[in-house]
Amino acid sequence: MHLTSNLTKTLNFVRDFKAGNHGIFFYSSPQEKHEVLFNFLQAGIERGEGAIYVATQETPAQIRRQMQNFGLNVKTLERDGVLRVFECKNWYIIDGKVNMSHTKTLSLRVLNEVMELGLKGLRGCGEAACFFERKKEKEMVKYELQIGRNFDLPVAALCAYDVNHAKSLDEKLFFSLIKAHGLVVTASFAGEMRLEDCFLPIMDEVLKTMFGEMGKKTILKILEGCRSLTPHKIAEDPRSFIEGLEEFIGCGAQVIAKSAVKEMHSKIGILQQE
C-alpha cells in the first residue's frame, strides 16, 4: 500500500503509544481503519503486549481475515492468548444497554490473563459505531469521560470513530469526547491534545469573527458575570460555556457552537463535506 507522508507519521505515532495512553482515532474508510488499528496492535504484540480488538462495522470473522491479510498470524496469536477479537455486543452493550461495569470488569480480566502469560501489558482498540447505531451517544461519551485521558494500568487504548458519526454528534458531546482523550489521531494529524489549550482560542476567534472584538468582549463579560465563566472555566468546561451561550443568545448559540466544531474538525484533519 502506498502511504502518504502524513499517514506514515500517523502510523509511526500509533505504533509508539505508551502504557497509560488513551487515544481517539477518526477514520474515513475501512482501509484507513484497518491500516492504523492493525499497526497499533502489531507494535504492541512485537513488544510483548496482549491485544484486543472490539468489532462493530465488521464481524469478528471479517476482522480476523483482514488481520491475516495485513500480516498477523491470527490463529497462533489467538491460540497463545495474545490476541482476542470481540463483538461489541459482548463487550460494550449487553442486552441492548451500555454496561460500563461489564466492560471494565472484562477489561481487567483480560489484562490479568495476559499478565499471567508473562506479557508486559495490553493494547486495545474498539470501534464506537455500535453506540451510534443504537442511539447511545450520551452513554458513550460518559464512558469515555470516566476512563479519562490516561490509564493507571499497563494498558494503551485507541478508540475508533467513523468520521461521519463524529460529524453527527451534538457539539457539546463532540467537545466532551475530545476532552476525554489525551491523544488525537487522524490520517493527517497525530498528537497530544488538551481541549483546555485549544477550545478557548477557537471560540475566541469564532466570536470575534461573528460579533467583532467589542461584541466578543461583551459576550464574555456577561457570561463571566452571570455564570462565573472565567476564561479558565471556559477552557475547562466547554459544555457549560455553550449552555451559557444558549441562555444568553438562544438559537444563535448553535451557530457559534457549530462554527467552533468546524474549526476543531479542520484542526485535527476531519474534512468537511460541502
pLDDT-derived band of residue 78, with 50, 70 and 90 as boundaries?
very high
Nearest-angstrom CA–CA distance, 21 and 125: 12
pLDDT computed for residue 56 by the predictor:
94
pLDDT of 272 higher than 70 = no
pLDDT-derived band of residue 249, with 50, 70 and 90 as boundaries?
confident
Instruction: Name beta bridge partners: 23.
Output: 158, 183
pLDDT of 55 higher than 70 = yes
pLDDT-derived band of residue 4, with 50, 70 and 90 as boundaries?
low
- Mean pLDDT is lowest, of 60-64, 132-136, 192-196, for 192-196
Q: CATH code for 5-192?
A: 3.40.50.300
- Burial grade of 182 (CB within 10 A; 0-12, 13-18, 19 or more): middle
Judge whether 25 and 14 are in contact, CB under 8 Å. yes
pLDDT of 273 higher than 50 = no
pLDDT computed for residue 231 by the predictor:
84
Domain with CATH 3.40.50.300 in the chain: 5-192
How large is the average pLDDT for residues 185-190?
Answer: 93
Q: State which of 85-89, 195-199, 245-249 shows the largest mean pLDDT.
A: 85-89
Strands (E), 146-196: 155-162, 183-185, 190-192
pLDDT computed for residue 3 by the predictor:
54
pLDDT of 96 higher than 90 = no
What's this model's pTM, rounded to 2 decimal places?
0.91
- What average pLDDT does the chain have? 92
pLDDT of 274 higher than 60 = no
